[in-house]
Structure 1
Amino acid sequence: MFKKKIIILNLPKQILTKEIQKQLVYLSNFINPDILLIIHKNVKENISNNVWFNIFQLKGTIIYCNSLIKQKTNIWINNKIYDSKINIHKNAKELLLKLYSGNILFLYNTINMLMLIWPKRLITIEKIKPFINNSTLFTPEEWIDSMLIGDLNKSIKILNNLFIQNYNQIVLIRSLQYNLITILMIQRKIFPNIYDILKMRKTSKSRYLTLIYFSRCENIEKINKSITLLTKIEINIKKKYETSIWNQLKILSCIISKKN
């Protein structure tokens, strides 16, 4: 009865009718500290002046999850710099805004790192450029795509970055396994339409061409060999042979990146 609950509310794309707003006011009667209410705002109108929204605000804490526009990001970074008590040059701050304006979490972590490295010194653009280049965060998909297009140097660079991040090795392996199996499904033509396979496997549209190209250029034996090696790497992870895992992933990068 007193368990915490999550309520997801999708507002309609049209305007909010009086009946809908009446139901929202009714819903506000049940808001309490044990309920997390997630509202997907599809309507263009401003909802902050509505009665139901004001009631929600009185009963809990409103957290806006929308991407910040440039002006608000600038306000956020100024407040963060002030709270962190760091001395950063205007050009250096503008570079951070230019590179990471859509990634508040990375901005937050970067400023915290700058605070530790240069707590009482002026942080110039010359100082942070090498820092930013060395702190770029990569994803498993970027590592996988670099291998699939045959860019070995980039795949090793990304793998080294993931190692520094202490990225979960099992997540890396599962991601690569999933992609290789998707490629096998394309090669074996389990559906006549390749795009139906990619949709079924929930592949990002931006990666369609990469997977299709690899499936047409590489043979099944190479993919099976890679999947077998992945299985061995996973066994080693479970046996806690930590030091050799990343080297084995580099060997795997070489195998997949090498063109037939």
Structure 2
Amino acid sequence: MKNIHLYELKEYLTKRLNFLYVFLGEDFFLLNKSQELILNFASQKGFLETSTIDIEKNKDWEKVILFYKKKNLFFQKTSLIINFIIKKLNIVLMKNINKISSLLNSDILMILKFNHLSLAIQKNKSLAQLKKNTDIVSCFTPYNLQFINWIKYEIQEKNINIEEKALFLLCKYYEGDTLFIYNVLSVLVITWPNTYITVDKIKKFIIDFFSFHPFHWINAILEGKIKKAIYILNFFRNHQYDVLVLIRSLQKDLLKLIYMKREKNININMFLVDEKISKKRCKFFIYGFKHINYNVLFEAIQMLVRIEMNIKQKNNSAVWNQLQKITLILC
């Protein structure tokens, strides 16, 4: 089993095109880009047709079997995308998945997209047969070093000449948002074609181009990134952002953390799913749950209530300083 990231995929495909690829992860942009890259290489090898089968229930697997059986003398090389949208991994499904190797042949290139089942597939030992000799394409949203490596790859692909400090600044502010940073890089190409892009240019670009939202500030707080959180708060202050929106957004998320702290044997992932927290933000709630203690959370909630009362009494003079104090306490 080889775990391949998007920034490595092109090199792998250049060396060899396999007949089975497994996509693990739910990052919509990475899923599309990886699929597009494989299909492009496949078309160069004569796989000119593309078919998709959605697996919503166990019986849908019969469509896969029928697809392989319908091969005849006039069958053209085809890329088959099997898209798993079934809600849960079950025994019947696992048995079928483990038998995939018996279906493979040189005229059909198969891509298995497990989407929300990805973590279950990754952890399930019963699927060892599938993972044994398969190329696993990682489509999880990258962070830290993986995010940096991916951006470096995209910069190279787009022939962008950029200062290293400027690159790391982009990583700092856009980490975890693959589609957005990809669009940012596309804008950079248009804005400064054949130009060395310095850190000063990127700083100005971020101010002009980027519009922060309350969740960016809250994510930075939950992750304990003080400088980033204060920077975003100052951005809101300078742009006269509605303070009440910030207060209520932070209150809402801090209360979720308090509820999490009160639960004795909590399944954090299940709790976040039940609370309809987006998958991109789950990471930040887990960080916050680990590093912010209950007393600090409770103190922050009380401070937010007092700030809101002051606003209603038209006493707004110290609101931004108080929000900065809360930010520092939580970080």
- Return the TM-score normalized by structure 1: 0.47
TM-score for the superposition, normalised by structure 2: 0.39
The structure with the largest strand share of the pair is 2
